[in-house]
Amino acid sequence: MDWNGFKVVREFQYQGWLKFIFQYFYYICEAALFVLMIVFAQHAGEIWFGKSNIPWGGIFISLTWGLVHILTKGDLLVGILACLGGLLYGCVYIVCKKNLYIAYPIILLMFIL
């Protein structure tokens, strides 16, 4: 999507300050839910399959979030990009050595930008 400028600034200009605040509060909450899903799916994958270096949380997000985007948006490319984004979020969690204090802000920034 082409924002014709920096996304955050353009959203503020387009939505106004009140909608902007609620939109970014939504982003903060949604990113927190993503991280929780990644954490629990990662833990489950490690227990079930015994491998901790595979981003099970990212795979879970890819399959759920990506497939939902394909079905709801009706666009295969949007769904594929959502799948790749979800997998990337899971990889960030692994690279951050499963430290939420590091992984959450990075995932939030990735989600917002």
pLDDT in tens, 78-113: 889 989 999 999 999 999 999 999 999 999 999 898
The percentage of residues in the chain with a pLDDT greater than 90, rounded to a whole number, is: 69
* Residue 40 domain flag: yes
pLDDT at residue number 113 = 87
* Residue 10 domain flag: no
Per-residue confidence band for 70, with pLDDT thresholds at 50, 70 and 90: confident
* Residue 54 domain flag: yes
Distance CA 108, CA 26 (A): 11
- Judged against a pLDDT cut of 80, whether residue 38 lies above it is answered with yes
Query: Exposed, middle or buried by CB within 10 Å (0-12, 13-18, 19+), for 23?
Result: middle
* Residue 26 domain flag: no
* Residue 102 domain flag: yes
| Average model confidence (pLDDT) across the chain | 92
pLDDT at residue number 101 = 96
Tokens 């990662």 sit at which residue?
42
Total number of domains in the chain? 1
Domain residues for the domain of 98 are: 34-112
* Residue 1 domain flag: no
pLDDT at residue number 2 = 61
**Listed residue (52, 33, 34, 31) closest to 43, CA to CA:** 52
* Residue 17 domain flag: no
**Listed residue (29, 35, 28, 34) closest to 100, CA to CA:** 35
pTM above 0.75, yes or no: yes
* Residue 28 domain flag: no
Q: Which two tokens stand for residue 26?
A: 């939504």
Q: Which residue has the higher pLDDT, 69 or 55?
A: 55
